[in-house]
Amino acid sequence: MRVRAISGSPADVTVDVLAVPIYRDDAELSGDLAELDAASGGAIRHAIDWGEFNLVEHASALVDAGDLPAERLLLLNGGVRGRGAFRARRLAAVATRRLNGRGARSLAIWLRDGEDDDAWTAAAAGAIAGTYRATAIYGRVRDTEAMQRSTDEVLFVGASQAAVDRGAIIGEGIAFGRDLANRSANDLYPERMAEVARELSDDGCRVEILEPADMERLGMGLLAGVGQGAAHEPRLIAIKLPGWEDAGDRRLAIVGKGVCFDSGGISIKPAENMGDMKHDKSGAAAVIAAARTVARLAPDTPLMAVAPMVENMPGGNAQRPGDVVKAMNGMTVEVTNTDAEGRLILADAMTWAEGEGATHVVDVATLTGAHAIAFGDQVSAYFARPREWGSRIGDAAERAGEWFWEMPLVAEYRASYDSPHADIVNSGGRDGALIKAAVFLSEFVTVPWVHVDIAGTAYLSAEKPYGPKGATGAAVAALVQLALDFPGLSLPEVIPGD
């Protein structure tokens, strides 16, 4: 898909489809909207009166464009104004998705609200996201040529070309991350993910892969323990951008949970929807996709992506509840629940990242069912130490069109992890599980750190107007923005003592 910034009035654009958001305060049809309506000979008024368009969330109506040079108008429910990049990304995704499988070749998008460079970048990324087809990975018979038709040129009315070009690269990165997260566990297991990562050396990155023997040598007992029950061996993937090597005193590590399949292990999960647990590698997919995207946009960024990859499987060699394992940082962990595996692999991966020189760490994980229950599929939750570092990723997410919300790190919950046999257990029980998971992780990192739980946001369990069922690419755009901002940010360099 080509993306192009254009200037001038939307009333003069010759395209197949002109997308126009109708915001909640537009009922009176005034100002810029009234002007377009007049130029169209009342087409917008007519569509609204006809009941074609109503204010249901993400509703859209494809109507005749009357006297406008555009063939058709795509009226979109814009909801309330002032939602910036988040809304821009959504609207653009709904627009291109609405046109999939149709004859429209060119689409112009007019935003009418909060049009800054961030919003245009998010809109371009969203326009690409709307053409994402999950069936393209494995579909052979039903994924026909007609279904594959999508808009091939999107014009952004009033944008800057640099902003939409950046958005296109980010949009491709998000699609790459979605493909990785959507691929099934029989296809994309740890060694295969390592092969995918190795290809990033084409983008100038240094890719390092740790195998089980390396994990043993390094004392990564937590990562090795989770991986020991599966026929497919674990791997730890590290992708260092060119800027990592000769960075000054600041290096950012993004660490993603890479559980290719989470059966729960011996603490096995119920059968219902267990197949969704192929998405338990979404954090790894996000950090790998973000690294690839930043390598294309700003290779000098001091960035490293780390992805501990495992399958969490039951079996004769699987970890048992009650097993005690030793972490790379020296702590002993009593595994009280083999289904709390994400925190175990992240713990060793973060210790390793610090050893490689990371001064700031962000981990991204589909870590707790409690996140999905509390936040649903719209908002990712983050925890930060210190909070000032967290606010940087909160800002980056907002600029990138994602919705992140801070949760508290409650040190008082550390007591729920006390073990009679080891330094810590791995499961603190059901109550407060979202927060407690972050508290567990906090034991394994000593530099400024943010934990992002994307369990609810990483994939859609049903199709939406802006995307198909399956992976969403959550956190890719936020991580890219954070990495691009990172060299120039005012940052806490250490965790303040309490």
Q: Which of 131, 293, 366, 457 binds ligand BES (CB under 6 A)?
A: 366
Residues 405-464 contacting ligand BES, CB under 6 A: 427, 433, 455
- Cα 479 to Cα 3, 253, 304, 376, 482: the distances in Å are 22, 10, 12, 20, 5
Selected binder of ligand BES within 115, 280, 348, 354 (CB under 6 A): 280
Helix locations, 342-475, DSSP H = 342-355, 369-375, 387-400, 433-442
Selected binder of Zn ion within 233, 280, 323, 354 (CB under 5 A): 280
| β-bridge partners, 208 | 238
Q: What are phi and psi of 72, to 5 degrees?
A: -140, 160
Of residues 310-369, those binding Zn ion (CB under 5 A): 342
Does 263 help bind ligand BES (rule: CB under 6 A)? no
CB 181 within 8 A of CB 459: yes
Residue 344 binds: one of Zn ion, ligand BES, Mn ion, none (C-beta under 5 to 8 A by kind): none
| Footprint on residues 329-348 left by ligand BES (CB under 6 A) | 337, 339-342
Q: Does 469 participate in catalysis according to the annotation?
A: no
* Selection from 118, 115, 166, 175 nearest residue 396 by Cα: 118
With CB under 6 A as the contact rule, which of the stretches 6-14, 55-63, 349-357, 369-377 interacts with ligand BES?
Answer: 369-377
Point out the catalytic residue in the list 343, 385, 392, 436.
343
Residue 179 interacting entry, from Mn ion, Zn ion, ligand BES, none, C-beta within 5 to 8 Å by type: none
Pick the catalytic residue from 269, 296, 414, 464.
Answer: 269
Question: In the structure encoding, which two tokens stand for residue 434, read together?
Answer: 């979202």
* 3 state SS of 128: helix
Distance, in Å, from the CA atom of 281 to the CA atom of 185, rounded to the nearest integer, reads 10
Burial state string for 178-191 with b = 16 or more CB within 10 A and e = fewer than 16:
bbbbbbebeebbbe
Site for ligand BES in 104-163 (CB under 6 A): none
Distance of closest approach, residue 109 Cβ to ligand BES, in angstroms: 33
Catalytic, 269? Answer yes
Instruction: Answer yes or no: are the C-beta atoms of 281 and 190 closer than 8 Å.
Output: no
In angstroms, what is the minimal distance from the CB of 458 to ligand BES? 7
In this chain, which stretch among 197-205, 222-230, 361-369, 465-473 interacts with ligand BES, using CB under 6 A?
Answer: 361-369
Residue 276 tokens read as: 């969704």
Structure-token pair, residue 437:
């998971």
Which residues contact ligand BES by CB under 6 A? 262, 280, 337, 339-342, 366, 368-370, 372, 427, 433, 455
Active-site residues, by number, are 269, 343
Binding site for Mn ion (CB under 5 A): 262, 339, 341
